[in-house]
Every structure is written in structure tokens, then in C-alpha cells.
Amino acid sequence: MATVSTARSSAYLTALTQEIEKKLQRALSSPSQRRNLLQELFADIALEVDDRAKEIILGTEDAIMVAEERAEGTTCYYYVLADHFVHVPQNGKPILDLIVQLWSQSFAANIFSLLFHKWLFEVQLENSEVLLRYSSALVQGATNVFWIDIQTNTRRFQSLFKYLLEEVALVPDRLKKIPLQAQRDLFLFLSRFIFFYNLGDKLGSFLRQFPDFPNAFLIGGAADIFVTELADQLQKLKVEPVLLHYLSQLKVLQGLELRMATSTRLKTCLYSFTSPGAPMYPTRAVRHAAWDALDLLYPVGRYPRHIISLFFRLLYPWYWPSSFWNFIKSCILAVFYSLLRLIFSSWDKVRSRPKEQ
């Protein structure tokens, strides 16, 4: 029975690879439709595997549950295809050859990173020049797909990120398979997204595995490089829920030893989110989250900062009405919740008296 299930799964995955190959061939032969075809293919492989396909590919319910746990939620087609190309590399070779011919096209690197991220590290490759090209495409494509997750505030590509972090960056034997420059690029872009994918608990291990940088004597060690990348990432975020999520994750930076320049850079970045208006135009929720992060990471000077901020707010009269209204709302809510607590505590005392008697 297991043999039949395996054969069925293999046939299904082979059929999928043939469909991918056909679409890539169409893209190669139709320059005018190339971008649309590649975009469609990217969307197809990023889709969630439906129940019927899961039953064919994975077989038993236990296997489906294991796959979903490994994928951190939904199982997408790229996830099962990436495994397939590791176990049956010859099936992926025609697709890889076509992608190489389409390197310069939009979505080609994205497709490569989704389908061949495991193949790159788990299948033996000898040519160092090819390794450099593939690893560069992986970094570029993975960066693109992670930005798609950020713009949509979803985590469809979390399994890709988790693999690159836990199975590559934190595993020296696999990491050494790609050139040193590619290792540096990999760590730099992982630094930008590690908080988004809720893997801040891996930060200590991640920093210990950081490769050497030639300009480390100027920019600092692993922690400094990480925080610099993180600060740059924060300033690029435009999706409010994502920005709030990043700011809430900054608590893991407590205790990091940073250079003065790096610390100032992070502090300046957070300051830019504490004031309404240009250049960041943060919402009220973002401003409060930024203040919370600042107060947590830099407790010294907390009250003077707030006083100075209040003084500068007074210089912009057009913000007074909204600030006053929010202050009134906060006071009303505080009084309301205090009354509720008082009522409930009094009620508990009244109910407990008969029992005592």
C-alpha cells in the first residue's frame, strides 16, 4: 500500500514539474508575454496545496500533519516541490536550465528561490562559479518573496525563511557550501526579516554564526551589523501592523553590546517614529509603540525625552486638537476602568460577607 501511495505521489509531482517546464518554455518563446507567464507561475507554486493534492502527495493524515508542522502552517506547492527536487534532482534539471536562461526576467529569481533553495544546499555541486550565481539568485529571490509577505502582512513564505535560518545559517556545514560573499549577503537579509517571522528567540545563535566582514573594524561586530540592518528595515516599512510587530519584537535587543554609533542609529530610527508628520508620518499606535521600545531599550533619560517631545509638540498648533482629544479620551477611559474595578471589588466584598457570618 505504501509503495502504491509513493508511486502515486511521485507521478503527481512529476506531472507538476512537467507543467512548470511547459510554462517556462512558453515564457522563453514568447517575449511579449514572458513577464505575465512568470508571474502566473510564481503565483501557482506559491498556492496552498488543496486537500485532494495533499492526500495524493503526502498520503496519510499523519504525514500531512507532519508536513504542516514543518511548514509552520499551510503547506504550499513550492514546499513539496523543493523537497521533490532534492530527492529526485534529475526532475528539476530541465526547469533549472530554463530558469537560468530567464535570469534577467522579473520573478525568475523568485521562482528559483522557492523551488531550489533546498537543492542548492542538499545536492552536491562542484562548480564554484555556478554556486556563486545560484546563491546570489537565492538571496535576491528570497528577499523579493519576503517583501511580498511584508506588503500583504502574511507569512506564506515562512517555511522558506525558517529553512534558510535554521537549516542553513545555523548549520555551518551547509553554510560553507556557498561562497563567503554569499554567506554575508544571506546573513544580512536574514537580519532584516527575522523579527517578522517571529524567530527572535534564535537571535543569540544567529549572531554567533555571523561570518566575518572585511570592514568589521569600522562597523562593529555581528550585533552592530544586525542592528544596522534592522534599523534600515524599520525605516522602509510602510504597513502599520508589520511595523507594530517589529517594534514589539525589539525587546530581544536588551543586553546587546553595541557601538555608540550603532546605538545612536537605532535610537534615531526609533525617534523618527515618535513624532507625527514628516518624514515617517507614523500613526498614533506606531508612535506609542516606538516610545515603548525607546523607553525599554534606553531607560536612562526616559522622562527628559518625553518632556522635550511634549515641548516640540507645542510648537505645532495644528496637532493640539487631536492631542487634546486623545488626552481627554484616555482620562475618561482611565476613570471608567477605575470605577469598574471599584464596583467589582465592592460587589465581591458584599458577596463574601454572608459567607463569613
Cell of 231: 534599523
For residue 127, the 8-state DSSP code is -
Output the CA–CA distances (angstroms, integers) from residue 138 to 50, 77, 84, 218, in the order listed.
Answer: 27, 18, 18, 28
pLDDT at 3 (0 to 100)? 43
Q: What is the pLDDT of residue 21?
A: 95
55 CB contacts (<8 Å, ≥6 apart)? 64
DSSP state of 319: G
- For residue 60, what pLDDT is reported? 53
Is residue 109 within 8 A of residue 141, CB to CB? The reply is: yes
Phi, psi of 30 (to 5 degrees): -125, 85
Comparing 34-43, 107-116, 149-158, 277-286, which segment has the lowest mean pLDDT? 277-286
pLDDT single digits (tens) 337-357:
888 888 877 777 767 665 555
| Average pLDDT of the residues in 206-223 | 88
> What is the rounded average pLDDT for all residues in the chain?
86
- Which of 104-108, 157-161, 163-167 is predicted least confidently? 104-108
Tell me the pLDDT tens digit for each residue of 58-102: 765 544 454 555 555 678 999 999 999 999 999 999 999 999 999
Buried b (16+ CB within 10 A) or exposed e, 184-214: bbbbbbbbbbbbbbebbebbeebbebbbebe
For 287-323, write each residue's pLDDT tens digit.
Answer: 889 999 999 999 887 767 767 666 666 666 666 576 6
- 44-66 average pLDDT score: 73
- Interval 10-21: pLDDT, tens: 888 999 999 999
pLDDT recorded at residue 8: 82
Contact 305, 294 (CB under 8 A): yes
Helical segments of 170-259, H only: 172-175, 180-193, 203-208, 216-219, 222-236, 240-249
Confidence of residue 283 (pLDDT cuts 50, 70, 90): confident
CA 194 to chain CA centroid, Å, is 6
- As a whole number, mean pLDDT of residues 127-142 equals 90
Residue 76 phi/psi, 5° resolution?
-105, 165
pLDDT of residue 1: 34
What pLDDT was estimated at residue 174?
Answer: 92
d(CA 111, CA 98): 11
Burial 61-76 (b: 16+ CB within 10 A, else e): eeebeebbeebeeebb
